[in-house]
Structure 1
Amino acid sequence: MSSPGLRERKKQKTRWAIQEHAVRLFVQQGYDATTIEQIAEAAEISPSTFFRYFKTKEDVVIQDRYDELMAEKIRQAPADQPPLEVIRRAFVDGFQAITEDEMDQALQRAKLQLSVPALRMRALDNLQDSIRYLAVPLAERLGRPADDFRCQAFVGACVGAMINALLAWANDGGDGKAALQLIDQALDVVAKGP
């Protein structure tokens, strides 16, 4: 996969800058008390520009770059690697690829998703999209159709295990090393059972 061009990199940088300002405001003054106008002002953009990057206020918390990062890791995995190891490495390597600042922001976003009912519901809606998205490169590897049910079910089981690991991580304060251990343990349960 080729790296994004300058224009796309600028758009990505703007997107994540908006998100960074939004999360900071949500933490400082509460999700419901923060307006899109306040986020736009903090990010030095117009409200209409906000909506070019995020359709809703919920999306600014829910959306991230991690699905793309993990999908690329799935595509790059060695051809002889079994599916569970492909998914495990994609999750672990993807998690290790994020910076400490991104890790802190991911923790804040996770806490918001746990504490704000509208975000919890939106996160659940987004979860199925993520599962379908990540199942596509796995299906490609296995020579199956992009919408293969078995690949979606397998990725869904792995994502479900990882969600439990990340919830435990968020509830325990967000130590990055603990997150990797929890993800590994959760995927081990998928492989071997409880």
Structure 2
Amino acid sequence: MSGHDRPQSLRERKKVRTRLAIRREAFRLFAKQGYANTTVEQIAEAADVSPRTFYRYFGVKERLLISDDKISPIVEAFIAAPKELPIVPAYRHAVGTVFDGLTQEERDDFVAGEQMMYAIPEARGLVYTEYVRLIDLIADALTDRPDGPTDEMERRVVAGAIVGVLIAASHNNPFPEDVLLRSLEILGRRLT
């Protein structure tokens, strides 16, 4: 059973609710007064948490724009995917598994965060950083796949191709689940 499949404890559920509440209030304030004009203190007050709690959850204001980490569960599901699946179908399986496990509130939060991230110029560097992080994680995860390349450069190229599909499917499309799954299917067909 992966970490994503395990039932959450009360503490974990409270953390998720607090994180979602902070993001929801931040997005509301960003829409009302603009990203640059919204302070961490205002966000914390609106979410009924202390600034210290805000920083514990996000570290910096810019981290609000990155959706609650979907990368780690997808990579975990990729590693745990059936070993008989080739690399790209295994990654497609992982994306479907994680997206299927989201609640409606988590989906709404994901869409809101993605829309903000693409709309706010200050977030462009974050998007790039997250894509590079994902390439690194997929390349590392490929060492656990029986059909994963043994050469580090080959692993990075395969990981880069997968992330390239994600970029193409996600641009100005805040919840590209269907497009992403279809795009990964195309990549899988073309790579065989």
Give the alignment's Cα RMSD to 1 decimal.
Answer: 2.7
Q: Paired residue for 2:22? A: 18
- Separation of aligned partners in 2, 1:126 and 1:153: 17
Contact 1:61 1:109 in 2 (8 A): yes
SS of structure 1 residue aligned to 2:38: coil
Please, which of 54, 61, 71 is the counterpart of residue 57 of structure 1? Answer: 61
- Separation of aligned partners in 1, 2:172 and 2:24: 23
Residues paired across the two proteins, number: 186
Q: Deviations over 1:116-173 (max 9, x none)?
A: 1111122112221122123333321238799933223212211221222122533xxx
- Separation of aligned partners in 2, 1:104 and 1:8: 19
Instruction: Give the gaps of 5 or more residues in structure 1.
Output: none
What's the TM-score once normalised by structure 2's chain length? 0.81
**Identical amino acids, percent of aligned pairs:** 33
1:126/1:180 CA distance change after superposition, 3 Å: closer
- Separation of aligned partners in 2, 1:146 and 1:9: 39
SS of structure 1 residue aligned to 2:171: helix
Q: Paired residue for 2:75? A: 71
1:180/1:143 CA distance change after superposition, 3 Å: closer
1:158/1:11 CA distance change after superposition, 3 Å: same
**Amino acid in structure 2 at the alignment position of 1:161:** V
- Separation of aligned partners in 2, 1:189 and 1:180: 14
- Separation of aligned partners in 1, 2:140 and 2:151: 7
**Which 4+ stretches in 1 moved above 6 angstroms?**
143-147
Contact 2:78 2:90 in 1 (8 A): yes
Contact 2:115 2:172 in 1 (8 A): no
Instruction: Give the gaps of 5 or more residues in structure 2.
Output: none
Please, which of 181, 184, 188 is the counterpart of residue 184 of structure 1? Answer: 181
- Separation of aligned partners in 2, 1:83 and 1:143: 7
1:100/1:6 CA distance change after superposition, 3 Å: closer
What's the TM-score once normalised by structure 1's chain length? 0.80
1:5/1:102 CA distance change after superposition, 3 Å: closer
